[in-house]
Structures are given as structure tokens and as C-alpha cells.
Structure 1
Amino acid sequence: MSANEFSLQSLIATGTAADPAFVFDGTPVSRAEFSAKVEWTAAWLAAQGIGQGDVVAVWLVNRVEWIALLFAAARLAAVVAAVNTRYRSAEVAHLLKVSGARLMVVEAAFRSIDFAAILADIARDDVPALQELAVVGADAIPAQWPCIRFDAFDETYPPAPHAQNDIDLPVLLYTTSGTTKGPKLVAHSQRTLATHAASVAEALKLDPQRHSLLAILPFCGTFGMTSLLGFIAAGATVHVLDAFEAAPAFQILSKHKITHSFGSDEMFRRILALTDAPRPFPHLEICGYAAFQPGWRELAAEAEVRGMPLYGLYGSSEVQALFSIARPGDAFADRIEGGGWPMSADAKVRVRDMETGELAAQGVSGEIEISAPSRFLGYFNNPEATHDAITADGFFRTGDIGRLRGDGAFVYETRAGDAMRLGGFLVAPGEIEDELKSCTGVADAQVVAIDLKDQARCVAFVIPAREPPQQETLIARLRERLAGYKVPARIYVVDAFPVTDSANGVKIQRARLRAMAMERIAAE
């Protein structure tokens, strides 16, 4: 196969594709129109001086400009750094600094998100590489950087020259949880993205004339982007929500005979809650879901009865979402578990016993290790973290616990270590702890996750520097600096953290902290 067969551009060259390719808020975009938008966007990027190796941060909700920017960057051998729209100043600043983005394409405004106010809290000296902002939907926003209007679809720019495009260079950076302050950036190439997209289309047996996708997940994350690219590769129509809301999702599922959707258990719970109809979506075939909330088994059982078939799956930024999924022939109890069968026939999954260090037999739990064509290139500008994440024979150490089922499938059980799943995202406690420790009056901090009213939330414990800080003051500060799902539900002041002495030093008893959090909340 030639390199072009592994490019992003190859995904939109399907001869039997359905039209339109996309529907955004009721507006159809044909494949020919999308191809034209990619060329216009590439010309616009080139006019801004973006070329091979340059990084463009994209801070947008789900819109056609987002996808066009990714495909156009690939055309120029540039790189897109995906910015979560739920991020706030500390997170955005960290991503811009680590990525070295020269240009950021940003929303003028969206619902309650004040992009300008968030940017105002970022010191320009902290992100010296950023030269200007390109605003979608306005000429400018109040900001300390020069602003231009993103007008690629409105103005004519000189055609961009075709780059000597190496499909194995980075083209897309996702963010993922870090062990220290701020997320790591996961680098993927055109080859890893396009190859996996083709595997998803083939494994799901997608027919462009019969199947369609409702995209309810943000493109800034691998879950939303992978499902999008898989259906583009299949040539199937994709209906897109700019951001998830249950009511419009319900209407599109009903009106357009959608066959596939991917999201969290809570998303599907909210959609089902809008109707008492016994089988409201007769055309649905697969709803791939990630279980983040308690009660997901009960939800899956109800959804099954009401004709919304939920399928457990597995993925990560490093090996991409939809890495694996359950099969229709699996027993219901197996089908709703995380894990499943790898999409790619070339993927390999093994489990390592964390006590012995040896490979585990089927049915024995241990750390999941993966080798697959979908595997990332590495952590961007972080060779040490990349080295630590990859085994000598090329398997990615996932940090997840699971077991092999013995029939070619595997089961994901839980996350190893202390990472927390909050708001559908994996979050390192250290990121929140570092923000707390930067607050006046806080000497040290620890953060743990608990179930609070059937929702995963975090709770913080702080040791005061002098006078005990006020919980309200700390929470207000964190709301300015972090995404809402990272803000602790409670902040408790303690004199010391529970610890255990070991051969390797003193360790915080995080299990004890979780118990303390639940005891205190129960007492309230």
C-alpha cells in the first residue's frame, strides 16, 4: 500500500459514500463541500504562516471548522493540539506551553463559556510561542494576543502548496492525565488515525447506505474523534451535536433513523429519560458506551428492554477510543462490560501480573498491555514519559487492570493507581493538588475520588500553612482555574494526612482518605 492510503485525506475518498457527509445543526455538508472546505482551510493556514511542524491549538466545540482544520493541518504537515472546551486558564496555559502552539483557533462565545475571560487569566510570558488568536464567529475577542477572524470559508486565499507529507509525523495531540501538574500531550500521526478509522469501519461492518452516526461526544477527545473518523472512513453520514444535550439528541435519533452512537452511560440515561415509549429508537443497532457512574448495569438492562442496545468498549488517548468493543453474539452480561474484542486484527492484548511481573493466564487480573496499529507515537516533547509507558517489545502499559477472557476478548476492570474518572475524563489528583497548593494558606493537599449522590466527585484534604483557609475561597479560586468537574465537592482542613511507612518511604493512605471523606459527608 502507498503512504497515501494511510493519510487522513484517504478517508474521504470513498467511492460508495453516502451524501451528505455531515449534518451540523440541520445543515448538510456534502463530501465535495467538505473537501473544498479543507482546501480553503489549508490555504488560510498557509496564509498565516503555518507549515510543517507548526502547532495550531483548536479550542472549538463540534463544528465543521474543527474537522476542516485537522484535515488541512495534515495537508500542510502541521499539527493540531486539541483543547477541551471545559478547560480553564491553568489547563489551557499548560497545553499551549507544552505544545508550543503558534496559533489558536477559538470560539467567540458558546453558551456560558467566556473564552476571553479564561484567556485573560493566562500570563502572556507563560506561553511565549503563541503569536495570535483566530476567532470563529467574530472579528476579535478581548485578549492580550493579536486577533484575526477565521474567515477561511468566506475569503479567497492563494492555494496552499502540497507539503512533502510524512504520514508518520505527529498531526493530532490529545490531552491525557499526567502524574504531575497538567496533562500530557498524546501524539498521533495520520497513519495511526487513518488505520484505526478503517479498522473501526470494517469491524463494525458499516454500510454507508444503511448506517449513520449521531456524534454527541466532543471532537477534542479521542472518544469523539475516533467515532467520527471511523464513520468518515465508512462513508456513512454523521449527524453532529455542537455539544451534548439530551433533547436534540433524542430528536435526531428519532427523526433520522440513526443506527449508531457512542457516549457515556449518563448521556444515554438522559436520552432515555425523555420518553416513556417502550422502544423509542427502533433503528438503533449499537450504542457504544463507557461506564463512569454507579448503576450502569441497571441502566444497560433497562436500555436493552427499551431497544437501546448498549455495548461495552475500551480505549484511551494512547491507543485511541473504540480500541475494542463487545460483539452482538456476546451474552448480555459480557456485552455490557468494558473491554471486548479489538477492532484491528493486528492488535495484541496481554495482561501482566502486577505482583510477579509475569504475563498472567486467562482469567487472572493484572495490568493490560497493548500493541496495535492505533498506538500513539509518544508523549509530545516528553521522551521520558514515553519511555516509561512502552515496554521493551513495544507494548503500551495502559495503567488499567483487566483480564483475558480466553476467547479473544478481554475485560476492563478498573484503573490502576490513583487516577480519578471525573466528568467522563481521567484526571490525575496531582493536577488539582498543585492548584490547591498554589493557593494562599495551603501548605499541602491531597485529592481523592468518591461516589457522591451516584456521581463520581473529588474531595480535597488540605494542611493549612497558617490560618485555615476558607473552603468557599478555595473553591472559588479553583473554579477560575480548572474545569468544573475537577473542582472538589468538599475541602476539609486536617492537621496531617494518614500515612504508612514502607521500605520505599512514607506513603499516603489514600484509601483511608476516601473513607474519611465519606464519613464526613455522611455526618453532614
Structure 2
Amino acid sequence: MSANASSLQSLIRTEAAANPAFVCDGTPVSRAELAAKIEATAAWLAAQGIGKGDVVAVWLVNRIEWVALLFAAARCGAIVAAVNTRYRSAEVAHLLKLSGARLMVVEAAFRSVDFAAILADIAKDEVPALQRLAVIGANAIPAHWPCVRFDAFDRRYPPAPPAQDEVDQPVLLYTTSGTTKGPKLVAHSQRTLAGHAISVAKALRLDPQRHSLLAMLPFCGTFGMTSLLGFVAAGATVHVLDAFEAAPALKILGQHKITHAFGSDEMFRRILALTDAPRPLPHLEVCGFAAFQPGWRELAAEAEARGLPLFGLYGSSEVQALFSIARPIDAFADRIEGGGWPMSADAKVRVRDTETGELAASGISGEIEINAPSSFLGYFNNPDATRDALTADGFFRTGDIGRLRGDGSFVYETRAGDAMRLGGFLVAPGEIEDEIKSCNGVADAQVVAVDLKGQARCVAFVIPAKEPPMQETLVARLRERLAGYKVPARIYVVEAFPVTDSANGVKIQRARLRAMAMERIAAE
């Protein structure tokens, strides 16, 4: 076990901690059992030839194996690349190629997701570094690569070599929005992850004997992972949903008197819709939420009236989720806004006027810039993007618009640029556009986000080649290659895109495209 106070292992304390550490699918896992599972997984990784600097892709729903793999990779000096379970072949191939993963741990199947079929659509030469798959729940799945079974918990392997703490080296890679060719990989170290987890536990004043978490966000993202690690650091019990469903979430929240839950506005909306009780969950103290859908203010008011206190949050893969949160003493209107106070007392937030380039005074909107102990190491294998993301004095350019309040807190207002928030994830239009343009019959494509029946959906405009594509064929192809939330709700054929000339060249008028999309949808 690691003794370094900046390591992930240091978070698994036992003094004054609650037991069990986790409850997964109704099965409790004590802190001693968790530590044993981590050691067993480290031995398994070593037996697979995984050591210092090697990348392991983890494509799993929320389960104890996910946690064990992350902590075991840290124990071995390896790196975990987190794969979104909603990804499809194009996205998985991009991540595997960019990360250089040698091994991928994957589900055999989960509900309607056919992992084998998705992998079958990835050519071996697309991901030359990948050597084998490790399957949970089966001995093998049909694939181009050799398969082994993840049996770390069932079989005894020779102990991993003694741990050498690499607390400042990459240990976890999150995906984040790219500009053209797919997501970038955000690298975090044990120090940034563990340090922020401790800050979260302190800022929320978590008491291991009184507080508990319902983990209903995917561990593959910073929102789910950060909340998980914060409660591990506090020594509090974490109840795990393998994937979010409102009915099981409501049941666990009530039966186990959960005090904390973090999620999207839509998650809390669905939970409330399942019960008519005036105050259905009186033990909930903090419902930290990110607002992705229209009508979130009305939801917050309803939740408040029914005893669910919603707290606005802020975060990103680069500075980690739960970077900041509102305070209980805030007025309701302020408490539900994104932003709040940084979890770490050492974090610095400033706002830069996007027109003048000067730092903005309180109350003036501009781009949010952050310098904090939770900040990322950089974009994995992408020094140019890392350099572009940082100011000369080391602040991260968030690409978000907000303002300072003047009391130490700040307000997040909107996302700068053209990035789209779809299905709770930030998506660059170019990622979808490139897939559309790779389809037969398409000469060019542009994608914008619109509000469609209360949900953010994307709409595509396509310039056809000589033989225009059939819309049904195009949609079917995109469903094979992309997560469902990225598949356009509408595809419109146009002769040209609206453009404007500028000193920097011809630019697509995305605002006009959004207006065109809404006009056509209204006409339908």
C-alpha cells in the first residue's frame, strides 16, 4: 500500500471511516475488501504485462472493477483511458489510437449495448497499439484481438512489483471536446485527483458516519469520478448505480437515506416525476446539478418546494468536476446558478474581457480563466493543444463565459464558441461533421444545436455530391458510428451554407444555420 499522501491509495483510509466503502448492485464492499481487490487487480495487470507508462482503456459501466482498475493502475504506474459507454465505433477507435492503449477492459454486454458489434466495426490497423481485450462477464467476445477474461477477483496472480509512487505522472485520461477530429484526452495525475478529492470532502464538510453518496453518474467522466473520489476521501459510503435509471435511484435514495447526489437537471426531473409525495426524500442535503436542458430554473423551484435542495456547480475535465459549488447560505436564485465558490482555497478564478483582452471587473462577463491544484497536466500527447489552452502565467482558458460576483464566487453563464451540449456532454460540431462527410453522397456538412421539444438536439445541413445520400441510409450509418445523442435529429440538404467574409477568411454563419433549422422544424 502507498504511504504517499498525494497518491490515490492514500484516500482509502480506515480510521473513522464508514463501512461498507461501496454498495454495488446491492452487494456491500468493505474497505478491507476494496484494498484486497485493488491489490488483486494490480497483480492481474502485471500478469498482462502492464507496467509503468502503459495505457489501459476501460470501457465499463459503473462497477467495483472500474474503481479497482484505476487504483491498481496507479499502483503499477500505468494509465487508465476512460471510455464513455455511449461511444460507438468511430469514437472508440479515435480514443484507442490517440491513447495508444495496449489493453482494453470491456463489458461482454450491457442491456442493449452490443460491445462486440461495435468493436467489429473497428479495423485492427486503426488501433495498432491494442494487443488484447479483457472481458468482464465472459471468456471472450468476437473480435479482431485476442481475448482474456478479467478474473482478478477469482484467481490468484503473483503479487505486483512493489509500488513506486508516480504521483505527478498521468494516471487517468478523460475525453473532452475536440475541434475537428474528435475528442482530446485530458491527463490527470494522482496528485491532481487525490488533492481535489480531499478538497471536495473538506469543502462539503463530509462526515463519514452521517453522509453518503448515490453515484448515478458514469465513472468514465469527471463529474462521476470526482464525486466518487471525494466521498472515498471522506471515508463515506458510496452507493453505485451501474447506469442511471430514475426508479432504482429513487429507491436507493429513500431506503438508504442518502444525503448527497450529483447529476444533471434531467436526472433530478425524472426522479421527482416518479413520486407524488410532497417531500419524498427528507434526508437529501445536497443535490449538486449541472443545467443542460431548458426549464431548469422551474425544475429547481419545484425541487426546492419538495425538499430537494439543488446546488449549482461548475467544472470541466481540465479542472475537474465539482470545481466549485454554491453555498447553503446563498439566496435561492444565486444557489442554483452554475459556478459558486471553488472547493480549494488555493484555486484562483478570473474573467477576461473577450473584446479588450483585459481582466474584467466584478459583474462584467468574459471568458473564465482558472489556476488551481485540480488543473490537468495537459492534453495527452498533444503539447500544441496544451500550450494553446494556457495563458502565459499558467491559467486555463476554459472557453466558458461568466462573471465574478465580488465576494469570492463566480457565475457560469454560457459556453463560448460553437461547442454543443448534447446528452449532457460537450460535443464539437466538427466531430459529427467529419463522420457525415465520410458518408457516400456527402460533399460537405455543418451541424448546429437547437432546442427541440425541450431537449438540445443537433441538426445537420448537408451539401450533396453528385448522387445525394438517402437520409435513412445516412442516419443508419451515423447510428453505427456515433453515440445516439450525437446523431442529428434532422438532416437538411442545401446547395450552400450561409457565410460571411472577414479579415481571417470566409466563416460559416452558425447563428443563421440555427435559425434556418428552427424555421424548417417549425414549418414541419
**Smaller-chain TM-score range?**
over 0.9
Deviation at 1:483, TM superposition (A): 0.2
Corresponding residue of 1:448: 448
Counterpart residue identity of residue 135, structure 1? V
Task: Give 3-state SS (helix, strand or coil) of 1:485's partner.
Answer: helix
Deviation at 1:492, TM superposition (A): 0.3
Deviation at 1:467, TM superposition (A): 2.2
Corresponding residue of 2:360: 360
Counterpart residue identity of residue 264, structure 1? S
Inter-CA distance 3–445: structure 2 relative to 1 (3 Å threshold): farther
Q: Larger deviation: 468-477 or 436-445?
A: 468-477
- Find out whether 1:188 has 2:202 as its counterpart: no
Deviation at 1:163, TM superposition (A): 3.6
1:276-335 CA distances to partner (integer Å, 9 max, x unpaired)?
A: 000000100000000000000000000000011000000000000000000000000000
In structure 1, how many angstroms separate the alpha carbons of the residues matched to 2:81 and 2:446? Answer: 30
Deviation at 1:58, TM superposition (A): 0.2
Counterpart residue identity of residue 456, structure 1? A
1:444-492 CA distances to partner (integer Å, 9 max, x unpaired)?
A: 0000000000000000001011122121111111000000000000000
Q: Larger deviation: 38-47 or 10-19?
A: 10-19
- Find out whether 1:402 has 2:375 as its counterpart: no
Corresponding residue of 2:470: 470
Deviation at 1:165, TM superposition (A): 2.2
Say whether the 8 Å CA contact 1:280–1:306 is kept in structure 2: yes
Task: Give 3-state SS (helix, strand or coil) of 1:167's partner.
Answer: coil
Say whether the 8 Å CA contact 1:187–1:377 is kept in structure 2: yes
Task: Give 3-state SS (helix, strand or coil) of 2:511's partner.
Answer: helix
Task: Give 3-state SS (helix, strand or coil) of 1:96's partner.
Answer: helix
1:328-368 CA distances to partner (integer Å, 9 max, x unpaired)?
A: 00000000000000000000000000000000000000000
Question: Which runs of 5 or more residues in structure 1 are unaligned?
Answer: none
1:213-270 CA distances to partner (integer Å, 9 max, x unpaired)?
A: 0000000000000000000000000000000000000000010000000000000000
Inter-CA distance 3–373: structure 2 relative to 1 (3 Å threshold): farther
Deviation at 1:182, TM superposition (A): 1.1
Say whether the 8 Å CA contact 1:446–1:462 is kept in structure 2: yes
Task: Give 3-state SS (helix, strand or coil) of 1:6's partner.
Answer: coil
In structure 1, how many angstroms separate the alpha carbons of the residues matched to 2:148 and 2:398? Answer: 41
- Find out whether 1:59 has 2:59 as its counterpart: yes
Deviation at 1:14, TM superposition (A): 4.1
Corresponding residue of 2:521: 521
Deviation at 1:164, TM superposition (A): 2.5
Task: Give 3-state SS (helix, strand or coil) of 1:354's partner.
Answer: coil
Corresponding residue of 1:122: 122
Say whether the 8 Å CA contact 2:58–2:106 is kept in structure 1: yes
- Find out whether 1:77 has 2:91 as its counterpart: no
- Find out whether 1:292 has 2:292 as its counterpart: yes
Corresponding residue of 1:268: 268
Counterpart residue identity of residue 512, structure 1? R
Corresponding residue of 1:204: 204
Task: Give 3-state SS (helix, strand or coil) of 1:42's partner.
Answer: helix
1:490-505 alignment runs, 5 A limit: 490-505=490-505
Say whether the 8 Å CA contact 1:53–1:79 is kept in structure 2: yes
1:72-123 CA distances to partner (integer Å, 9 max, x unpaired)?
A: 0000010000000000000000000000000000000000000000000001
Task: Give 3-state SS (helix, strand or coil) of 1:34's partner.
Answer: helix
In structure 1, how many angstroms separate the alpha carbons of the residues matched to 2:383 and 2:303? Answer: 44
Say whether the 8 Å CA contact 2:458–2:488 is kept in structure 1: yes
Say whether the 8 Å CA contact 1:14–1:233 is kept in structure 2: no
Counterpart residue identity of residue 435, structure 2? E
Say whether the 8 Å CA contact 2:14–2:31 is kept in structure 1: no
Counterpart residue identity of residue 252, structure 1? I
In structure 1, how many angstroms separate the alpha carbons of the residues matched to 2:334 and 2:469? Answer: 48
Say whether the 8 Å CA contact 1:350–1:369 is kept in structure 2: yes
Counterpart residue identity of residue 97, structure 2? K
In structure 1, how many angstroms separate the alpha carbons of the residues matched to 2:13 and 2:400? Answer: 36
Deviation at 1:125, TM superposition (A): 0.4
Q: How many residues align?
A: 523
Corresponding residue of 2:100: 100
In structure 2, how many angstroms separate the alpha carbons of the residues matched to 1:152 and 1:452? Answer: 46
Task: Give 3-state SS (helix, strand or coil) of 2:340's partner.
Answer: strand
Deviation at 1:3, TM superposition (A): 7.7
In structure 1, how many angstroms separate the alpha carbons of the residues matched to 2:458 and 2:493? Answer: 15
Say whether the 8 Å CA contact 1:213–1:237 is kept in structure 2: yes
In structure 2, how many angstroms separate the alpha carbons of the residues matched to 1:357 and 1:508? Answer: 24
Counterpart residue identity of residue 169, structure 2? L
In structure 2, how many angstroms separate the alpha carbons of the residues matched to 1:305 and 1:157? Answer: 54
Report the TM-score when normalising by structure 1. Answer: 0.99
Task: Give 3-state SS (helix, strand or coil) of 2:360's partner.
Answer: coil
Say whether the 8 Å CA contact 1:208–1:236 is kept in structure 2: yes
In structure 2, how many angstroms separate the alpha carbons of the residues matched to 1:243 and 1:184? Answer: 24
Corresponding residue of 2:324: 324
In structure 2, how many angstroms separate the alpha carbons of the residues matched to 1:27 and 1:364? Answer: 50
Say whether the 8 Å CA contact 2:311–2:325 is kept in structure 1: yes
Counterpart residue identity of residue 173, structure 1? L
% same residue: 87
1:376-395 alignment runs, 5 A limit: 376-395=376-395
Task: Give 3-state SS (helix, strand or coil) of 1:344's partner.
Answer: coil
Question: Which runs of 5 or more residues in structure 2 are unaligned?
Answer: none
Say whether the 8 Å CA contact 2:444–2:463 is kept in structure 1: yes
In structure 2, how many angstroms separate the alpha carbons of the residues matched to 1:392 and 1:502? Answer: 28
In structure 2, how many angstroms separate the alpha carbons of the residues matched to 1:263 and 1:55? Answer: 29
In structure 1, how many angstroms separate the alpha carbons of the residues matched to 2:374 and 2:469? Answer: 46
In structure 1, how many angstroms separate the alpha carbons of the residues matched to 2:65 and 2:439? Answer: 38
Report the TM-score when normalising by structure 2. Answer: 0.99
In structure 1, how many angstroms separate the alpha carbons of the residues matched to 2:299 and 2:168? Answer: 41
- Find out whether 1:13 has 2:13 as its counterpart: yes
Task: Give 3-state SS (helix, strand or coil) of 1:5's partner.
Answer: coil
Counterpart residue identity of residue 271, structure 2? I
Corresponding residue of 1:155: 155
Corresponding residue of 2:305: 305
Task: Give 3-state SS (helix, strand or coil) of 1:477's partner.
Answer: helix
Task: Give 3-state SS (helix, strand or coil) of 2:355's partner.
Answer: coil
Corresponding residue of 1:259: 259
In structure 1, how many angstroms separate the alpha carbons of the residues matched to 2:232 and 2:277? Answer: 32
Counterpart residue identity of residue 417, structure 2? G
Task: Give 3-state SS (helix, strand or coil) of 2:151's partner.
Answer: coil
Task: Give 3-state SS (helix, strand or coil) of 1:323's partner.
Answer: strand
In structure 2, how many angstroms separate the alpha carbons of the residues matched to 1:265 and 1:14? Answer: 34
In structure 1, how many angstroms separate the alpha carbons of the residues matched to 2:410 and 2:418? Answer: 22
Counterpart residue identity of residue 245, structure 2? E
